[in-house]
Amino acid sequence: MSYAYDDGSPGRGRGLNLRIIGALILAAFGIITYLFQSQVNPVTGKRQHVAMSVDQEKSLGLQAAPDMARQMGGAVDRDDPRARLVAATGARLIDASDASRSPYVGNYHFILLRDPETINAFALPGGQVFITLGLLNKLTNEAQLAGVLGHEIGHVVNRHSAQQMAKGRLGQLLTMAVGVGASDRDDGGRNAQIVAAMVNQVTQLRFSREDESEADRYGLRYMAQAGFNPSAMLEVMKILKEAAKGSHQPEILATHPLPETRLEEIKAILDRTYPNGIPGNLEFGRPIEQGQAGSR
């Protein structure tokens, strides 16, 4: 009796078992690697799963910074008053806040990008912080600028990039494991792998939104510690809300919480932190003229 075309053949069963074993090994490798990539954050005290050391973060950020700047028109000259304003505000936040305990002190650089249209700010691993001219020109005072930069410092201090890389690698390995385990199907397991990849992507987006909320909390703290009025972040969120008009992307598929969501979260944080009102010694700083940031 031949089993060559029998779906229940012993040979096919052995092949299926090998695929499942391979998938389990791959998944176990990914999970174990992720769990062992664990370090205690020196500032927050949290144990995190991260994909690289502090020195590797610094090196990666420094290597990537020139290319990131070129993509947005290059960096504004450091002697430009606008660039000096950005650098001075960032330095004040670092020197006067808990961020001064970060291992990235001495590696922070606050860079103004020439792009006048894009409204954005972001940070690379290790302390390279960028803000576009398009966003700076929307801000009206130094406290708002401190809020933007404080948020990005929050990302660096909390090692969000290294954390996301570790989660991303785990997700990729688990997605591959699903594909291997389902490769006996007629579609070669491709559909199962696509579904797994989509689940992984949405999961990573959720983590990213949590990171954004955490960076907001730390940014508000750093602002206040440096003497800036943290309520200025409410105006920043209104600026971002105005810039986002016409966008109908569902929040669950966005890497950032919607400005409306962040606005409400920031209001709640301020209410909890300052139940008797924000202290009068926290300032909004000098005004920034829209469209002429730092050029006065």
Contact 190, 179 (CB under 8 A): yes
Residue 66 has what pLDDT?
A: 92
Residue 295 has what pLDDT?
A: 41
Please give the Cα distance from 65 to 58 (Å, whole number): 11
Q: Give per-residue pLDDT as tens, 34-82.
A: 566 677 787 787 887 677 788 988 998 899 999 989 989 999 999 999 9
- The closest alpha carbon to 109, from 149, 154, 162, belongs to 149
Please give the Cα distance from 64 to 13 (Å, whole number): 49
CB atoms within 10 A of CB 179: 21
Q: Are strands 38-40 and 47-49 parallel, antiparallel or unpaired?
A: antiparallel
Establish how many alpha carbons lie within 13 A of residue 271's alpha carbon, considering only the half-sphere containing its beta carbon: 6
Residue 219 has what pLDDT?
A: 97
- The closest alpha carbon to 220, from 285, 268, 281, belongs to 268
pLDDT tens, per residue, the chain with 296 residues: 433 444 445 555 555 576 676 666 656 755 666 566 677 787 787 887 677 788 988 998 899 999 989 989 999 999 999 999 999 999 999 999 999 999 999 999 999 999 999 898 999 989 999 999 999 999 999 999 999 999 999 999 999 888 877 666 766 656 665 665 566 555 545 555 555 555 555 555 555 888 899 999 999 999 999 999 999 999 999 998 888 776 555 544 566 778 889 999 999 999 999 999 999 999 999 999 765 544 43
Residue 287 has what pLDDT?
A: 95
Q: Give per-residue pLDDT as tens, 230-267.
A: 999 999 999 988 887 765 555 445 667 788 899 999 99
Residue 2 has what pLDDT?
A: 39
CA 128 to chain CA centroid, nearest Å = 13
Distances (CA, A) of 88 to 11, 81, 84, 167: 70, 10, 6, 34
Please give the Cα distance from 221 to 224 (Å, whole number): 5
- List the chain domain ranges: 17-273
Residue 1 has what pLDDT?
A: 41
Q: What is the largest CA-CA distance in the chain?
A: 92
Residue 294 has what pLDDT?
A: 42
Vertex 191: Cα angle to 190 and 197 (nearest 5): 90
